[in-house]
Amino acid sequence: MNQPKVVVTRRIPLQAMELIRPHATIFLWDKEEEPIPQNVLLQEARDAVAIYTNVADKIDREIIEAAPQLKVVSTMAVGYDNIDIAAATARGIAVGHTPGVLTETTADLTFALLMATARRVAEGHDFVKAGKWASWAPMLLTGQDIYGATIGIIGLGRIGEAVARRAAGFGMNILYYNRNPRPEVEAELGARYVELEALLRQSDYVVLLAPGGGGTYRLMGAREFGLMKPNAIFINTSRGTNVDETALYDALKNGSIWAAGLDVFDVEPVPLHHPLLSLPNVTVLPHIGSASIATRTRMAVMAAQNLVAGLMDEVLPHVVNPQVYEK
């Protein structure tokens, strides 16, 4: 019997491949860091029953419409703003993702980036390696305090809550803005719900953790950066599309905010000539929020489990669009 075809758009951990292999004929884009070209994906999707994807791919309407047999799209990520969910749902295609397993790892990285930006860790590292360290100096590479400062978390989902827990451990005052207030987090961590404008005005650290997509597109623009304090630090480990990067550049350049730590960009990889990369008060990372060995392996396995469930016409353990099961 012919096995259904599965397109795997990147080399993934062996454990995940082993879960898929017994159920499918696999087309693997066998590259570690190079994304599958869109035309290859389009071509390979034509007779595919399932696609195993990641945040670097675009599973748009064109791909979905080109794949008449497609039953399941499984992404090795919690975020799915790179997938046209409406188009998939209209076709009855289940979309799977990996919530929960990356929460603590991403919160760790968010806090690491916050601390690195506040205390100028990357600048200090470069300074020493460039042979510029002449002497201890009273004001050399002085940064901002974390203990006792106010953190404002935009988006208090799982990861936001895990960041709040870390902030509480560091003796920070915690503000948050979210679709819905979270009284249980307020009771546990002393966090306080405020409207976005108040959060921006009062926070020393503004941490963006809202999901990507239409509803949060350019959530942070010139007006929002303009409301922040001049000593404030902006951290983004959510999606680059949530930020107007030109407005962020202007705010950093003219000193209306103090620094930024960015793990995500509007266009990834961020082009080397991007103005933000020219600023000393920007600390950057290559979208590695969830990148611990254990977590990435768990994500890969979870995405494989979602995919195999879809192949077997079972309900995906972690489905983005449960409406596909309503009929």
- Shortest Å distance, C-beta 106 to ligand DGY: 7
Q: How far apart are CA 264 and CA 106, in angstroms?
A: 12
Q: How far apart are CA 163 and CA 177, in angstroms?
A: 13
Among 78, 116, 175, 232, the residue binding ligand DGY under the rule CB under 6 A is 78
Tokens of 324: 């596909």
Residues 265-295: b if buried by 16+ CB within 10 A, e if exposed: bbeeebeeebebeeeebbbbbebebbbbeeb
Based on CB atoms, which residue is closest to ligand DGY, 114 or 252? 114
**4 lies in the binding site for ligand DGY (CB under 6 A):** no
Q: What is the largest CA-CA distance in the chain?
A: 75
Tell me the pairing of strands 5-8 and 50-53: parallel
Of 311, 312, 310, 127, the residue nearest 320 (C-alpha): 310
Report the site for ligand DGY in 232-291 (rule: CB under 6 A).
289-290
The window from 72-80, 126-134, 223-231, 300-308 that contacts ligand DGY (CB under 6 A) reads: 72-80
Based on CB atoms, which residue is closest to ligand DGY, 72 or 78? 78
- Shortest Å distance, C-beta 160 to ligand DGY: 14
**155 lies in the binding site for ligand DGY (CB under 6 A):** no
Based on CB atoms, which residue is closest to ligand DGY, 191 or 303? 303
**77 lies in the binding site for ligand DGY (CB under 6 A):** yes
**64 lies in the binding site for ligand DGY (CB under 6 A):** no
**Catalytic residue check, 239:** yes
- Shortest Å distance, C-beta 72 to ligand DGY: 18
Contact indicator for 208, 234 with CB cutoff of 8 Å: yes
How many residues touch ligand DGY under the rule CB under 6 A: the total is 7
Report the site for ligand DGY in 287-326 (rule: CB under 6 A).
289-290
Contact indicator for 267, 240 with CB cutoff of 8 Å: yes
- Shortest Å distance, C-beta 3 to ligand DGY: 29
**79 lies in the binding site for ligand DGY (CB under 6 A):** yes
**Catalytic residue check, 268:** yes
- Shortest Å distance, C-beta 82 to ligand DGY: 9
Tell me the pairing of strands 25-28 and 5-8: parallel
Binding mask 198-217 for ligand DGY (x = CB under 6 A): --------------------
**146 lies in the binding site for ligand DGY (CB under 6 A):** no
- Shortest Å distance, C-beta 302 to ligand DGY: 11
- Shortest Å distance, C-beta 320 to ligand DGY: 12
Among 102, 163, 285, 304, the residue binding ligand DGY under the rule CB under 6 A is 102
From 239, 296, 298, 318, active-site residue: 239
Q: How far apart are CA 154 and CA 206, in angstroms?
A: 7
**55 lies in the binding site for ligand DGY (CB under 6 A):** yes
From 287, 296, 298, 318, active-site residue: 287
Contact indicator for 131, 123 with CB cutoff of 8 Å: no
Q: How far apart are CA 223 and CA 301, in angstroms?
A: 42
Judged by the rule CB under 6 A, the positions of this chain that interact with ligand DGY are 55, 77-79, 102, 289-290
* Residues labelled catalytic: 239, 268, 287
